[in-house]
Structure 1
Amino acid sequence: MLNSLSLSSFPLAFDQYRYFCSLDHPGGLDPATTVMAIWPAPMVYAGPTEVQFHAKSRRSAGASYFVVGRDPAGMKGSSLAVAHPGDDLYDGDHGRYVLRNSPGIGSMKMLSFVKVMYDVTDNVMKVPDDNRPDDFISISGSKMRLLARNGASPCSPTNIPTDLVEANCVPSGFMVPKGWEIVVDYYRNIDSGRWIPWSRPRSDPGAAPRTTTEGQFGTLGFSLRHTDYESVWHDVSRYPSGTTGGGDGNVINLVTEIPLRMTAKMEVQKDRPNNVISQDSTDGRPRYYTYGTPFFNYGFVPQTWEDPNLKDSLGNGGDNDPLDVMEVGSVRLDMGSITPCRVLGHLELIDEGEMDNKIICIALSDPDASSITNMGDLERVKPGTIERLKDWLKRYKTAEGKGENSLASESPTSIKEAMELIEETHERWKNLCGKGTGYVSPDHGFWLDAPGCKGRR
C-alpha cells in the first residue's frame, strides 16, 4: 500500500474530480486494478508537525511506503522575513529529515520523488536525459497555475514551444484533457464566489445569538455584526452592566473575535461601518494562523484603544487597536458574543515595534472560574498555561517567515496593573471619540459614528 504527501494546489473536491478523469481517460489508470482512497485530512501548510501526523496516521491505516515530495519544503516564506526574505520556509530535504527522526514510523520505507520534465520528442513526462537537455521543459506548480489562470489550451504535439507562458499552451501529455479543463475552470474562477481557495472548509463560524452575518465564512466577503449594538467596539461597555470592574471582582466584558480552536484570523474592522467582525487578509487572501490551533478564545475589551502616541519605556507605541484579550477557559465562546470575564493580569507583547498588550482573563461561565481568581490559581489549576501563552505570542508569526516577538517582561503583570491599563486605554478611546481631554488627529480613518462614540448622543 502506497501513500504520498502533497500540499495540493486545489481543494479536495477538485483533486477527486481530476483523479476520476484519469481513471476514465483511455490509456490512463486502469479502473479494474486501481483503488482511489481519500484521506480526509487536508494539509494546511505542510510544516513539520503535519508531515509527522500524516506519516503516522497513514501508517496506522496500513501504508507501508510513504512518498515524500518537496512540498514540505517548497512553501515560500514571507517577503517581510527578518532573514532570507522570500526563501523557502523549509530545506529541500526537510520532510525526509523530519520523518527519519520521528519515533514510531521506523518500519515505513521513505520514497523520494524524482524530478520529471516534459520530453518534447515523445510528449511524455519523464526523468530528464542529461545528453539532450534542450528536449525537456520544466512545468512547475507556479507555472501550471499561471497557465491555468490564463486559460491555456493544448499545444500542437509536433511543435512544443520552449516558452509555454508566452505561447499560452500546455503540452498534450502533461495532463489528461478533461483534467486540464477542470484546473482551468478552477483558477479562472478562483476570485469569484464559486470557490474557496485551497482546502479551507465551508464551516459555520459559530456566530453568537443576536448577531447577523453576510457572505460565506472563509471568504473576504464574510462579516458579522451584533443586532443589539451599532458597534461592539463603541457601544458595549467595558464592564458588565451594574459593575465598575475594580470593585466587582475585576470583571470586564469580552467581545470574542476568534473562538477557541479557530484558525481563521478574525478581527473587528475599525474603518468599516458598524465595525463589523471579518477575516483579516494577506496578499488579498483570507488570513489563517499557521503556528497551530489557538487554545484560547481571543477578542478585545470594548471602548478601549491602544494609542500609537502612548509610548512605553522602550519607545514602543500602542498598536492602534482595541485592547486585546486572551480568555483561558475550556469552553468555546461564540464569535461576536459579549462575555463577563475575570481579569487575571496581562502580558506586554512587543510585536514588530508596537506595544500590543494582552489581557488574560477567564470567563465567569467557565467551569474553572470559581477556582481561578489570579495567575497563581491559573498555574495551579491549569499548569503550563502561562508558558503556552508566552510561547504562542512570541512565535506565532515565525510560521509566516517572520522573526520572534518579544515580551517586555517574562512575568504577567498583576491584576491591579491590568485594570490600570484598561482604564488608560479607555481614556484614550474617549479622546478618540472626542469625549476626553486629549486631542487625536482626525486622519485615523476609523468609523466612529456609533451612539457610544461620535454618533447620536
Structure 2
Amino acid sequence: MGFPDPFYRWRPHPWHGLGPGEDAPSVVLAYIELTPFDYVKYEVDKSTGYLRVDRPQRSSSQPPTLYGFVPQTYCGNRVGAMNPHADRGDHDPLDICVLTERPINRAEIILPARVIGGLQATDHGEADDKIIAVLDNDAVMKGVRDLKHLPSPLVERLRHYFLTYKMVPGEDSLMTIEKVYDREHAMRVVEASLADYDETFGK
C-alpha cells in the first residue's frame, strides 16, 4: 500500500514547509500559535518549527481571537514600505487574527482564513501588521466579507489588546496602531509579504 499524495514522512516546518493557501491573498492558510484561552505567549521556534513558550503574559489580558501567522510570508522591505511610520518590516511571518463563532481552545492547528481587514501596527519602528480574518467555513461568519461587517467593539478589542499586551509597568509602550484598514488593503499587505518571502528565501 502506497502513501497518499501528498504525504509528509516528516513534519513540515510551519513557516517554510506549509504553503500560504491556494486562494491567497483572499483566503489564506493560518497556523495558530495562540488561542483566546492562553495566558502564556507561545510562538513557533524559527529553527525547529516547534511551538515554544515565549513568555507568560505580564497582565491578565488574553488574545481576543485565534492568533498566528500565514506560512511562507515575510515582513520585509515591501511590507515595511506600506507603513509610513515604520523604518522596515519586523522580519517575521505576517501575523493573523482569526475570528470564529465556536470557541477553539487548541493551538498548533492550521485553518482556512478569509481576509477581511487589518491593523497597521508599528513596534519599535518596525511594521508589525495584524491581518484580521474569519474562519472561511464558519457558517455564522459567512456574510462577513470586510471589516465593516464586524461589530466595531470587536475591532476595538483587538486594537486594545495589541496596544497593551506588551506593556511593562513604569515604561512607555513603543507599540502603536496608526489605522484600521479594509479587505482590499489587507490583501495588498498579504501580497507584499508573499513577495518579501520569495525574495528572502526563494520560491
Q: Same fold (TM over 0.5)?
A: yes
| 1:78-103, Cα deviation, whole Å (9 max, x unpaired) | xxxxxxxxxxxxxxxxxxxxxxxxxx
1:151-166 mapped onto 2 (5 Å cutoff)? none
Distance verdict in 2 for CA 1:315–1:257, change over 3 Å: closer
Q: 1:345 to 1:424 in 2, by over 3 A?
A: same
Please list the CA deviations of residues 287-308 of structure 1 after superposition, one character each: whole Å capped at 9, or x if unmatched: 3252412221110000001126
CA contact (8 A) 2:72 2:197 kept: yes
Aligned partners of 1:298 and 1:401: how far apart in 2? 27
Q: Distance in 1 between matches of 2:16 and 2:192?
A: 16
* Residue number in structure 2 paired with 1:371: 143
- Give 1:407's aligned amino acid: I
Between Structure 1 and Structure 2, the one with more helix by share is: 1
| CA–CA distance in structure 1, aligned partners of residues 116 and 91 of structure 2 | 23
User: Distance between the aligned counterparts of 1:340 and 1:261, measured in 2?
Assistant: 21
Instruction: Indicate if the aligned counterparts of 1:251 and 1:341 stay in contact, CA closer than 8 A.
Output: yes
Q: Which amino acid counterpart does residue 184 of structure 2 have in structure 1?
A: K
- Spell out, residue by residue over 1:51-85, the C-alpha distance to the aligned partner (whole angstroms, 9 max, x if none): xxxxxxxxxxxxxxxxxxxxxxxxxxxxxxxxxxx
Q: Evaluate the alpha carbon distance shift between residue 356 and residue 433 of structure 1 in structure 2; reply closer, same or farther with a 3 A threshold.
A: same
1:277 aligns with 2:45: no
- Structure 2 gaps of 5+ residues are 1-7
1:321-346 Cα offsets, whole Å, 9 max, x none, are: 10001112242153111100111111
Please list the CA deviations of residues 166-222 of structure 1 after superposition, one character each: whole Å capped at 9, or x if unmatched: xxxxxxxxxxxxxxxxxxxxxxxxxxxxxxxxxxxxxxxxxxxxxxxxxxxxxxxxx
| CA positional deviation for 1:227 | 7.6
Question: Normalised by the size of structure 1, how large is the TM-score?
Answer: 0.39
Corresponding residue pairs, total: 192
Matched residues in 2 for 1:229 and 1:304: separation?
A: 19
SS of the aligned residue for 1:299 comes to strand
Aligned twin of 2:5? none
Q: Which residue of structure 1 lines up, in the alignment, with residue 189 of structure 2?
A: 421
Give the Cα–Cα distance (whole angstroms) in 2 for the partners of residues 227 and 373 of structure 1. Answer: 37
Aligned with 1:408 (options 172, 178, 183): 178
CA separation of 1:235 and 1:333: change in aligned 2, threshold 3 A: farther
- For residues 125-163 of structure 1, the C-alpha deviation after alignment (integer angstroms, 9 at most, x for no partner) is xxxxxxxxxxxxxxxxxxxxxxxxxxxxxxxxxxxxxxx
Give the partner amino acid of 2:19. S
The within-5 A match list for 1:31-50 is none
1:357 correspondence with 2:129: yes
In terms of Rg, which structure is larger?
1
- Aligned AA (2:57): Y
Tell me the secondary structure at the aligned position of residue 347 of structure 1.
strand
The residue number in structure 2 matching 1:260 is 36
- 2:16 corresponds to which residue? 234
8 Å CA contact retained: 1:348, 1:407: yes
Identify which of structures 1 and 2 has the higher relative contact order when contacts are C-alpha pairs closer than 8 Å and 6+ apart: 2
TM-score, normalising length: structure 2? 0.84
Asked if structure 1 preserves the Cα contact closer than 8 Å seen for 2:35 and 2:67, the reply is yes
Conserved 8 A contact 1:229-1:236: no
- Considering fraction of residues, name the structure with more strand: 2
Q: Deviations over 1:2-27 (max 9, x none)?
A: xxxxxxxxxxxxxxxxxxxxxxxxxx
